[in-house]
A and B are shown apart, each in its own frame.
Chain A
Amino acid sequence: EAQVTQNPRYLITVTGKKLTVTCSQNMNHEYMSWYRQDPGLGLRQIYYSMNVEVTDKGDVPEGYKVSRKEKRNFPLILESPSPNQTSLYFCASSTPGLLYNEQFFGPGTRLTVL
């Protein structure tokens, strides 16, 4: 089944404790992105990647890191999480096309930083 998976789905942690949220897709997509979703603010793009070893900042990259060493994986790293990073996080993937550019979203990771 074509899908984007994220782990963990739920995480409660404390300020300053490094964490990684994994994202993996099995559709051989070139493009992958990370978003956070907060009430009243919609989805905001954190980082995106257009292919292996190619990443770029989205609108809210501060406090986050990413890497794209393999095509299928795009982990999100919080080196020193803070309470303002409490949010719902989505990973998404897609493949470029002239007429069709659907993003497939993962199930989401709900992160709470105390």
Chain B
Amino acid sequence: EDKVVQSPLSLVVHEGDTVTLNCSYEVTNFRSLLWYKQEKKAPTFLFMLTSSGIEKKSGRLSSILDKKELFSILNITATQTGDSAIYLCAVEKGAQKLVFGQGTRLTINP
């Protein structure tokens, strides 16, 4: 059975801290791994990763994929209160068939 597992499920840190969110997967026919941010509404796209070892960056956020060990991490440096959200990891298996993890609820305290 396909599985995507995120950890931790919940994380509370102070503004300015650096956080690392984890996503491990066991999925047949892997095509890509995607990260989304969900605030009080619909998820918004952050990154798509297809190759191992190539870091994707967007401002203070970065992500990397390890296809040998079947995991990805999402790093957020110098966190701000606006980073508070649920972060979702999803694996695409075949075109448009996505399996999501449970999400990590990140809370940034001022």
A, B co-complexed? yes
Binding site for B on A (CB under 8 A): 31, 33, 35, 40-45, 48, 50, 56, 58-59, 90, 94, 96, 100-108
Q: With the chains together, A108 CA to B99 CA distance in Å?
A: 18
Q: With the chains together, A45 CA to B4 CA distance in Å?
A: 13
- For residue A104, which residues in chain B have a CB less than 8 angstroms away from its CB? 45
B interface bracket (residues with beta carbon within 8 Å of A)? 20 to 34
- Min Cβ gap B6→A in Å is 8
Binding site for A on B (CB under 8 A): 4, 6, 32, 34, 41-45, 48, 88, 90, 92, 95-103
B42 x A107 contact (CB < 8 A): yes
B100 x A43 contact (CB < 8 A): yes
Contact of A50 among B34, B43, B96, B102 (CB under 8 A): B96
Given A100-B48, A105-B43, A107-B41: A42 and B95 interface contact (C-beta under 8 Å): no
- Min Cβ gap A7→B in Å is 14
Given A41-B102, A42-B102, A100-B48: A50 and B95 interface contact (C-beta under 8 Å): yes
